Amino acid sequence: MERNEAGGDSGGRAELLAAIENAARISAGRGVFFHQAVANRLGINTSDLNCLNILQLSGPLTAGQLAERAGLTKGGAITTALDRMERAGLVERERDPGDRRRTIIRHTQEALDRIAPLMPAEPWQEVYSHFTDAELRTILEYTERSSEAARICIERLLGT
């Protein structure tokens, strides 16, 4: 049984949930195309762009850590991606001073400079300006929960 905010039954909730699901699917699809367009402009693929995003959010990582977070295989796939990004001037590799067997990967300032004009903040700031702080907290919670749901689905699809 579905319930509305007042605790009563509501046939409108099903329609609202369907509308949210449709809007989320459209948004996700546009996000894929947006990231593909950015990657194309940078001369890399979307997996590489995802690696750059991970490095921007988390800071320097070992090649293995980056591979794990990006869903790439350690060795071949991550090495090929790093070679591409290094040739494009987007990442740097350095030996881990604490363990010379490991390589630390970090994004370059050039990466930030090249990505910034392709991913402007203004359109999203305009969207956020229409919401109260309380509403933004709800949007943040939804986004975090939705991201976690996507992670779970990815793990199921990959059999991990």
pLDDT per residue, tens digit, the chain (160 aa), is: 444 555 555 679 999 999 999 999 999 999 999 999 999 999 899 999 999 999 999 999 999 899 989 888 777 889 999 999 999 999 999 998 888 888 899 999 999 999 999 999 999 999 999 999 999 999 999 999 999 998 899 889 878 6
Return the axis-axis angle of helices 46-58 and 63-70, rounded to nearest 10°: 120
pTM for the predicted model, two decimal places: 0.81
> Which of 86, 82, 93, 88 has its CA nearest to residue 47?
82
DSSP string spanning 2-69? -B-TTSSB-THHHHHHHHHHHHHHHHHHHHHHHHHHHHHHHTS-HHHHHHHHHHHHH--EEHHHHHHH
